[in-house]
Structure 1
């Protein structure tokens, strides 16, 4: 059964009626094809109208949709001969960060992803996509490995942020994130990152200090979550919709600010409604970015990447 968000209630009611009519047809042989067709057209029109004017807060809800494809879905769907690699060679493995080697459209690549999990068991296993220091140190290890063997890097980012627990701070969370960002900026190979859901704070940029940063149409990317921002500014997480507006965390805002390079359109109603379509779209866009980068040498890639991120502070756009 499809999960509907709060603002999708009118759409849910129409789709519920369509399902009831279908069941009635199956049970009694009544032909209601014409009525179903009218309702389907009405539901699609309402869906199109609703998603054409989503607020930043509503986009945040879509970015977190439980049925939205996760990093593991993109790896499973786009990467052949996937070989996962585990551990940071210092403390432990972190299931919140997926890492490994494989082939993307026939080209050997290194792959990173923050994985939230889909059900209760997998969410707990992956710590809801919130990595600990060992996760970022694993990412750094894989990026350095990619540089050593000349493998392009692809990452899929979907995290509310780094794990904020005391034990993570005790093990050097800030330093681990900084080292991961440093490894991304210093990699002598092409690097393409895609924000597939939430891109939260340093926990996201640790896997997205890339030559090209792509973002799904209804993804979000921000220094802090709307709830976290509201709790700090208004002492009340209920002000999250207002915070989302102020944070300018949507793909459209970030493209205007030149903080991302391209927006990948999603299927009508969000990526969760058609996994195959969004995987194909991401595959095309990532390859279109990756292919020209593979013609550049390591020194040029590093210099351009450095300049790209330095330029973000010089635009003066507010």
Structure 2
């Protein structure tokens, strides 16, 4: 695998013309690039700031085999690569002097890339995130079904959504800095939300979902306040959102959960989600020598 098999560009339209079919060929596995690149396409520089996003595609035999994108945060996102391909890309980006703050990919790709990046730059990696990707098989509503019903959130629920998304972010180790002013720039703003409500109309759980891209919808986030857990609300609201995704025509409905959380993994499998593969995120230290 040669470095010049990778084609780099900051032109998102040219990138999608050449790599769009590849991304849509495996919508479940490529769910994060699909949603984030679509966000970049529709919102432009406002999605991440003024600095351009760097895109790359790996071509072999006239076909695209893999892609990456690196937004202004400098956190690289990759589709699956062989160890050789990951090593070649890491060495190539280091030689070109492209700074990276971290990498996100399936576990094997992220690990192989990180090892090479560390060798070439001296960066100290921190294994910052683990996620297990699930894809919906046959949707199976929970039995017994908790009392209540689902309700699509509307404008009157805005403050409630901000509060619960802030609590969710804190619970999963993200920076909980949401308020009315910062909401529009958060990763939650583009989601569609549904509440599970008790018979008296009290929200007890919520689930969000992305817009459909390439036939794929991702359920994210799912949150139940700690004092309301253990009643089946998360499973019920996830079923509601999943059913709506299928009704909208989605061919792939996916979600991530922590491999270390046996409760959430069991809930999703009971309602029909099937594990696909594990993902990993690494942060790279800021005090490493400059790449090059």
Q: TM-score, normalised by structure 1?
A: 0.24
Bigger strand share: 2
